[in-house]
Amino acid sequence: MKILFYDTKKYDKESFEAILSEYNGIEIEFLENDLLPSTAHFADGCDAVCAFVSSDIGTKTIQILADKGIHLILMRCAGFNNIDLEEAKKHKITILRVPGYSPEAVAEHAMGLALAVNRHIHKGYIKVRENNFSLVGLTGINFYQKTAGIIGTGKIGAAMCRICRGFGMKVIAYDKYQNPELDFVEYVDLDTLFAESDLISLHCPLTKETHHLIQESTIEKMKKNVVLVNTSRGALIKTEDLIKGIRNMKFFGVGLDVYEEETDNVFENREDDILEHSVTARLLSFPNVIMTSHQGFLTEEALEAISRTTLENAFDYQNGQIKDSNVVV
Ligand code: NAD
């Protein structure tokens, strides 16, 4: 099976090449371009493509891939909100993903963002480098004995609940389905979570239901000086409303690993007119916002698990024995 691997980064190539020889019959061609309608035709002559959260796998891309004879899309990630699933079904394209690789990697990053923005580590780092050892403006709050509100208690949310408990926080959560492993967590409705939490961390998937879950009406329900963290998907938050909330001094700090304009390559293009209209660029102008570029998953352990499960998915598909848990469609 020949796989065209889109959006290759140095760390992807290294982690996949390290174990590729263990999977007989699988060949990979690495491409730097991401999978988009304009690059889908590069898959001509391949059997499968490997894509990521940033890929645009909408109707047009699927149609081109189907036309080029692609019958398998290997997502080297958990989320799949960037795929037109109906179109994939129509063309009998199978989509396999990596449902969980290292939930702790993402949860640890979420807590890292929460701590950094709360204790002004980003400001302290810059100040000290410039020989300014003043502490003015660097006062934080203790998380100990405060309330953490976790939205979505699947694999990553559960890891975040355990981390928050380790910090001595009361942990409350909202999910459509309660996780029976989290006996120390009190499940509440969303309104209660917004009203009681000092730290809110988002760990639910992006769906029609969760799109813009955080917007003016929900921000109003939050406590003043709440810390908000999003390592899940950018569009869980309506950025314009978040900016309004920050201006109204609602947030002690905001830590974001994901942002609404992620697929628009706003910063890679760096064209002035794009930046001028970018809500992400506006967000970055606030001193109590810390943003990273979707790096929550990026640990050695997670990369190894991602490459292994993706190659197992390809191998199993080749041998007609795919794992139900990894099937998207
Ligand atoms: P998961 O499927 O194990 O858990 C998701 C949880 O969200 C489930 O318990 C589900 O019941 C719950 N949920 C679904 N709809 C909901 C709703 N309307 N309200 C509240 N809860 C709801 O997924 P996971 O592995 O924990 O991943 C969570 C999300 O993290 C993914 O969807 C993805 O967007 C994101 N993610 C980010 C990174 C990163 O690098 N930043 C890496 C991996 C995953």
For the chain, how are helix, strand and coil distributed in percent, rounded to 5? 40, 15, 45
Q: What is the pLDDT of residue 262?
A: 83
Q: What distance in Å separates the CA atoms of residue 160 and residue 202, rounded to the nearest whole number?
A: 10
On the question of pLDDT at 316 being above 70, the answer is: yes
Catalytic one of 29, 196, 240, 262:
262
Per-residue pLDDT, averaged over 138-164, amounts to 98
Tokens of 114: 């929460």
14 CA distance to ligand 1 centroid (A)?
27
On the question of pLDDT at 34 being above 90, the answer is: yes
Q: What is the pLDDT of residue 134?
A: 98
The position carrying tokens 């409350």 is 172
Does residue 106 contact residue 231 with C-beta atoms inside 8 Å? yes
Q: What is the pLDDT of residue 79?
A: 86
- pLDDT class for 8, splitting at 50, 70, 90? very high
Residue nearest to atom 39 of ligand 1 (CA): 296
Span 269-311, pLDDT tens digits: 556 666 677 899 999 999 999 999 999 999 999 999 999 999 9
Span 191-244, pLDDT tens digits: 999 999 999 999 999 999 999 999 999 999 999 999 999 999 999 999 999 999
Q: What is the pLDDT of residue 261?
A: 87
The position carrying tokens 């355990």 is 162
- For residue 129, give every residue at least 6 positions away whose Cβ sits within 8 Å of its Cβ, in sequence order, or none: none
Q: What distance in Å separates the CA atoms of residue 241 and residue 6, rounded to the nearest whole number?
A: 34
Amino acid identity at 79: G
What is the DSSP code (8-state) at residue 21? G
Catalytic one of 122, 233, 260, 312:
233
Q: What is the pLDDT of residue 277?
A: 77
CB of residue 79 inside a 6 A radius of ligand 1: yes
Does residue 315 contact residue 23 with C-beta atoms inside 8 Å? yes
CB of residue 294 inside a 6 A radius of ligand 1: yes
Q: What is the pLDDT of residue 266?
A: 54
Tokens of 182: 């989290």
Q: What distance in Å separates the CA atoms of residue 274 and residue 267, rounded to the nearest whole number?
A: 9
Per-position DSSP letters for 40-76, written without gaps between them: GGGGTT-SEEEE-TT--BSHHHHHHHHHTT--EEEES
Tell me the C-alpha to C-alpha distance, in Å, between residue 121 and each of 38, 229, 298. Answer: 41, 15, 21
Strand partners, 5: 30, 50
Cα angle: 226, vertex 231, 232; to 5 degrees: 115
Tokens of 289: 């916002």
CB of residue 100 inside a 6 A radius of ligand 1: yes
What are residue 105's phi and psi, to 5 degrees? Answer: -60, -45
Residue nearest to atom 14 of ligand 1 (CA): 204
Q: What is the pLDDT of residue 265?
A: 58
Residue nearest to atom 31 of ligand 1 (CA): 205
Each residue of 303-318: b (16+ CB within 10 Å) or e? bebbbbbbbbbbbebb
Q: What is the pLDDT of residue 267?
A: 56
Tokens of 164: 């928050």
Report the 10 Å Cβ neighbour count for 95: 21
Is 277 an annotated catalytic residue?
no
Residue nearest to atom 1 of ligand 1 (CA): 154
CB of residue 254 inside a 6 A radius of ligand 1: no
Task: Return mean pLDDT, the chain.
Answer: 95
Does residue 175 contact residue 157 with C-beta atoms inside 8 Å? yes
pTM of the model: 0.91
Q: Name the residue of 97, 153, 176, 206 to mutate for ligand 1: max ligand atoms within 8 A of Cβ.
A: 176
On the question of pLDDT at 138 being above 80, the answer is: yes
Tokens of 216: 């003016």
Q: Name the residue of 12, 83, 106 to mutate for ligand 1: max ligand atoms within 8 A of Cβ.
A: 106
The position carrying tokens 């080749």 is 318
Is 294 an annotated catalytic residue?
yes
